Amino acid sequence: MKVAVIGTGYVGVTTGVALAMSGPEVTGVDVDEEKIRLLQTGKSPIYEPGLDEALVDVISRGKLEFTTDHTVALLSAQIIFICVGTPSDQEGRADLRVFKDLIDQVHHLLCHDDDERILVIKSTVPVGSNDQVAELFSDCPQIHVVSNPEFLREGSALQDSLQPARIVMGASSTQAFERLEQLYKNIEAPRIKTSRLNAEMIKYASNAFLSMRISFMNELARLSDKLGTDISIIATGMGLDSRIGPEFLRAGLGYGGSCFPKDIIALLSIAEERDEPLTILYQVAKVNEQQPTWFLQKLEQRLGDLANKRIALLGLSFKPNTDDIREAPAQKLLTILREKEALITAYDPVAMPNMQRVLSGEQVTYTQTPYEAVNASDAVILCTEWGEFLELDYERVYHIMRKPLIFDGRNALPHSELGKIGFEYVGIGNQVGSLV
């Protein structure tokens, strides 16, 4: 069985590698020649733990290859995965231009070929889009359209693809389900076989629900600050209820990344279009938008005017173990701090080149080490809970800072230990204040 994976972003590369590891021969395709050249040498264009090693392994065993030639890859494949991005457009809707062009290209190339093929859509597309694709292919019944949403998390993308929590398949023919089952036969996970509409909605609803948990906790954290309760302990207490569960209850600077923000806005606009506005989800997005500003107000309450204050940011990626800075709270903080004329130093183990590309200039200095970043600063803000930051020599940090003030945007640091050293610690919804 031969598989073509079109689009070599997070989802495409990881899907290609995971499939190649579990059975079929896979060809990854992209229009970006530079990316393809890099992938051909076994290097992933994105930072993702374990991905480079796995790439080298499957390429060397002849299980995975990369090309910019769509025609050859499509014609030789029995299963075609569509993994191109669907970013937000100006109005917040999913921008489907690349997706639609590609579908037209596949239709044009394969509709008159008699071979049976499965067209698997992994790209997150508005509910109903895949039925429209199926409608387009109704003049070529040998091509079956399946919605097969992807739930991988950046930072553990490969593991999530190899051991997913579930495999959701939306199709309207038994052949399609059977072929996909055959493809996934080595992957153990509960299956949900349903309509394309339901499959698409499961993806949006999952991301919306997880975001809702985060915004709920972030709003509760603001109240916690006023009441003197500790949101981390409250989350632990809540999470032990099996009806709630412990995941996605961590308060912080808000959710970021390539999926939650874009998918929430897209679902909101899908609902608006149907005149069924999702009021809860609207507030979820609003709370998330406000969270970095709310946090900086706490900093201003402590430091006064931020102009010419030296602020060190630790962590720039939207979460640890990735170099992805899309919608990262750190990016929002950097922008606001610059507007307030603060002097910023910033450090991240892997995301600095990406942030430098979008935000540089006199007010921001990117440093080689976390210690350089915090040196002579008036405050440190932990934006991303990289393991490296949890293990810093905080005695050293204390001695090189101008003021020993730590703003923990992820409630990740051991605040009582920091208090013993002499730091003033400010977290999110855990108003412990000075522990000296």
Write out the residues near ligand UDX by the rule CB under 6 A.
150-154, 207, 210, 214, 248-250, 252, 255-257, 259-260, 318-319
Q: Where are the strands (E) in 106-177, listed by range?
A: 117-121, 143-147, 167-170
Q: Where are the strands (E) in 131-246, listed by range?
A: 143-147, 167-170, 191-194
Which has the closest alpha carbon to 85: 135, 127, 121? 121
Q: Name the DSSP class of 182.
A: H
Closer of 137 and 318 to ligand UDX (Cβ)? 318
Beta strands 167-170; 191-194: pairing state: parallel
Taking CA atoms, 50 is separated from 42, 318, 379, in Å, by: 12, 19, 35
Closer of 137 and 389 to ligand UDX (Cβ)? 389
CA distance linking residue 297 with residue 21, whole number of Å: 49
Closer of 328 and 373 to ligand UDX (Cβ)? 328
Q: Where are the strands (E) in 7-67, listed by range?
A: 25-29, 64-67
Closer of 198 and 206 to ligand UDX (Cβ)? 206
Cβ contacts of 107 within 8 Å, gap of 6 or more: 136, 137, 140
CA distance linking residue 22 with residue 364, whole number of Å: 45
CA distance linking residue 194 with residue 269, whole number of Å: 24
The residue count of the chain comes to: 436
- Hey, is 261 helix, strand or coil? helix
Closer of 207 and 224 to ligand UDX (Cβ)? 207
Q: Count of CB atoms within 10 A of residue 215's CB?
A: 24
Question: Residue 65: what are its φ and ψ, rounded to 5°?
Answer: -135, 165
Q: Count of CB atoms within 10 A of residue 118's CB?
A: 25
Supply the minimum distance, in Å, between the C-beta of residue 260 and ligand UDX. Answer: 5
Which has the closest alpha carbon to 174: 193, 150, 198, 196? 193
Taking CA atoms, 175 is separated from 103, 110, 118, 142, in Å, by: 21, 18, 9, 10
Helices and strands, counts by H and E, the chain: 18, 14
259 is known as an active-site residue: yes
Token couple for 425: 């610690």
Select which of 83, 111, 140, 259 is catalytic.
Answer: 259
CA distance linking residue 169 with residue 52, whole number of Å: 28
Token couple for 298: 């706490």
Active site residues: 259
